[in-house]
Amino acid sequence: DAKTTQPPSMDCAEGRAANLPCNHSTISGNEYVYWYRQIHSQGPQYIIHGLKNNETNEMASLIITEDRKSSTLILPHATLRDTAVYYCIVRSANAGGTSYGKLTFGQGTILTVHP
């Protein structure tokens, strides 16, 4: 799996957009980008994933650069409840029959939304 690099922490004002970057310069053609978040003392929560096209759902938008070497998770109107650790994970959907879903969670980005 490709390695990802995220800033250790970011701040955002409530009501503003939060843009969380992720670098995955060694991503291969069949690897997807997944985003999860973990609110303090809770289990991680899936947010969104994509391959090469931009994706949007009710929680967030995912923008992947054309060369796929980096991506940005966008929370359009951050609230205090969005304060969490955000994990960017790169993983193939074709694990060769061995296993799916074995994800590597690094340190992530601590997003703090302040009033």
Partner 1 sequence: DGGITQSPKYLFRKEGQNVTLSCEQNLNHDAMYWYRQDPGQGLRLIYYSQIVNDFQKGDIAEGYSVSREKKESFPLTVTSAQKNPTAFYLCASSINREYSGANVLTFGAGSRLTVL
Residues at the interface with partner 1 (CB under 8 A):
32, 34, 36, 41-46, 49, 51, 87, 89, 91, 93-95, 97, 99-108
| Min dist. Cβ of residue 115 to partner 1 (A) | 25
Residue closer to partner 1 by CB (options 10, 14) is 10
Going 37 to 23 to 52 to 111, the CA torsion angle's sign is positive
Distance in Å, CB of 21 to partner 1, minimum? 18
Q: Which is nearer to partner 1, 45 or 65 (CB)?
A: 45
Residue 111 has which token pair? Answer: 């997003």
> Percent helix, strand, coil in the chain (nearest 5)?
5, 45, 50
Structure token digits, residue 73: 């998770």
Distance of closest approach, residue 56 Cβ to partner 1, in angstroms = 16
Are the beta carbons of 73 and 86 closer than 8 angstroms?
yes
Q: State which residue, 43 or 115, has the beta carbon closest to partner 1.
A: 43
Is the Cβ of residue 42 or residue 115 nearer to partner 1 in the bound state? 42
**What is d(CA 72, CA 60) in angstroms, rounded to the nearest whole number?**
10
